[in-house]
């Protein structure tokens, strides 16, 4: 597969999607030193390969250092990642921190361990970035992680928020980037299989997969089977938000809206299910009547007192 045209197309697609995300969100700048977080899963291996390829031809100079946090999960194969890093000649650091014992000790049996585990892991990653002089931290989350997080927050948190492609850490010391934000999980999985990465299983911690996330993942898979392209649409919508058609008064000044010239869309005015995107302008006519005018036609469509 690695020598085939399909593989070449897939690799090109992943690199160009990552390149576009990096450009759109200004993720990487000249002189950056990027700590690339490696769990040993398909996403992190793919991210490292893509970043190394982009590094060779990027117009800016940036450094890469791969990092793995050995959390002392039972059965963790500690020689796999160092061997891989050495085989590809990338600078790396393995950090050992027994977060597993802390989580086992602090979290009661049967309760989910992921939130404390991720907090501890985040702390170690930030400290390591500081020690190694890395100003950026790269994580391997992809398009499907972002859409799943959006629905998790929507269904269980009552919030419209997903997973940002770029964010500053609370202390402002680092910027976290997600270069695979535009890449599909299925593409990453196919690429990782073709690359024959030495994958480390993700269930060594003994924690059950987050049940709610699994349900959302299953829901998205079913949608995609029934209506191909729907997940892409949801993903596109995350980058095309219309605050005036939502209800967050912090994002749009509804109270300040007054009569006069304003742009609206026909679908939202009349509940048109065809979602025709014709923008209308409504204004007061000389006879003090409200007129709805299609901008291209400049003649009243509907009018009323």
Question: Taking CB under 6 A as the rule, does residue 234 contact ligand SF4?
Answer: no
Gap between the Cα atoms of 20 and 106, Å rounded = 42
Please indicate if the annotation marks 183 as binding a ligand.
no
Please pick, from the candidates 15, 55, 135, 207, the single residue that binds ligand SF4 as defined by CB under 6 A. Answer: 207
Closest distance to ligand SF4 from the beta carbon of 207 (Å): 4
- Taking CB under 6 A as the criterion, the residue among 146, 176, 205, 220 binding ligand SF4 is 205
Q: Is 64 in the site for ligand SF4 (CB under 6 A)?
A: no
The correct pick among 49, 113, 128, 149 for binding ligand SF4 (CB under 6 A) is 113
Rounded CA-CA distance 253/8 in Å is: 49
Selected range binding ligand SF4 among 112-120, 171-179, 223-231, 290-298, rule: CB under 6 A: 112-120
Cα three-residue angle 70-116-112, rounded to 5 degrees: 105
> Which among 113-121, 164-172, 227-235, 240-248 is the span making contact with ligand SF4, rule CB under 6 A?
113-121
- DSSP for the chain reads -TTSHHHHHHHHHHHHHHHHHHHHTT---TT-EEEEE--SSHHHHHHHHHHHHHHHH-SS--EEEEEEEE---TT--TTHHHHHHHHHT--EEEEE--HHHHHHHHSPTTS--HHHHHHHHHHHHHHHHHHHT-SEEE----HHHHHHHHHHIIIII-------SEEE-TTSS-EEE-TTTTS-HHHHHHHHHHHT--PPPS-TT-PPP-HHHHHHHHHHHHHHHHSTTHHHHHHHHTTS--GGGS--TTTS-STT--SS-EEEEHHHHHT-TT----EEEEEE-TTS-EEEE-TTT-SEEEEE-
Establish whether 205 is an annotated binding residue: yes
Question: Shortest distance, CB of residue 245 to ligand SF4, whole angstroms?
Answer: 36
What is the rounded distance in angstroms from the CA atom of residue 223 to the CA atom of residue 216?
Answer: 10
Residue 106: phi, psi to the nearest 5?
A: -85, -30
User: How many other CB atoms are found less than 10 A from the CB of residue 261?
Assistant: 8
Which one of the spans 111-119, 159-167, 231-239, 253-261 is the region binding ligand SF4 (CB under 6 A)? 111-119
Q: 201 or 295, CB closer to ligand SF4?
A: 201
Least distance (Å) from ligand SF4 to the CB of residue 209? 7
Q: In the window 117-146, what residues touch ligand SF4 (CB under 6 A)? A: 117-118
Q: Which stretch binds ligand SF4 (CB under 6 A): 114-122, 154-162, 174-182, 267-275?
A: 114-122
Based on CB atoms, which residue is closest to ligand SF4, 162 or 205? 205
Cβ 214 to ligand SF4 shortest distance, Å: 12
Q: Which of 10, 90, 95, 114 binds ligand SF4 (CB under 6 A)?
A: 114
Stretch that binds ligand SF4, among 23-31, 109-117, 232-240, 252-260 (CB under 6 A): 109-117
Binding residues for [4Fe-4S] cluster: 114, 117, 205
Site residues for ligand SF4 per CB under 6 A: 113-114, 117-118, 205, 207
């Amino acid at each position: 597969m690695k020598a085939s045209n399909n593989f070449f197309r897939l690799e090109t697609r992943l690199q160009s999607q990552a390149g576009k995300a990096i450009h759109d969100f200004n993720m990487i700048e000249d002189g950056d030193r990027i700590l690339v977080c490696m769990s040993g899963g398909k996403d992190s291996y793919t991210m490292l390969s893509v970043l190394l390829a982009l590094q060779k031809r990027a117009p800016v100079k940036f450094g890469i250092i791969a990092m793995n946090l050995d959390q002392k999960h039972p059965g963790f194969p500690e020689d796999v990642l160092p061997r891989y890093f050495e085989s590809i000649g990338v600078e790396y650091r393995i950090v050992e921190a027994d977060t597993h014992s802390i989580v086992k000790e602090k979290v009661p049996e049967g309760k989910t361990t992921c939130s404390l585990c991720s907090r501890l892991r985040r702390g170690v990653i930030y400290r390591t970035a500081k020690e190694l002089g890395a100003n950026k931290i790269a994580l391997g989350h992809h398009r499907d992680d972002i859409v799943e997080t959006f629905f998790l927050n929507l269904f269980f948190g009552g919030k419209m928020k997903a997973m940002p492609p770029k964010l500053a850490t609370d202390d402002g010391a680092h910027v976290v980037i997600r270069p695979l934000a535009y890449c599909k999980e299925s593409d990453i999985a196919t690429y990782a299989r073709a690359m024959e990465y030495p994958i480390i299983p993700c269930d060594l911690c003994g924690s059950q997969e987050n049940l709610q996330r699994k349900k959302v993942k299953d829901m998205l898979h079913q949608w995609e089977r029934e209506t191909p392209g729907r997940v892409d649409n949801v993903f596109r919508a995350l980058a095309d938000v219309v605050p005036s058609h939502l209800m967050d008064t912090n994002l749009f000044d509804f109270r300040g809206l007054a009569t006069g010239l304003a742009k609206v869309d026909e679908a939202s005015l009349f509940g048109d299910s065809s979602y025709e995107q014709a923008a209308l302008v409504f204004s007061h006519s000389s006879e003090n009547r409200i007129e709805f005018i299609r901008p291209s036609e400049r003649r009243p469509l509907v009018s009323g007192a």
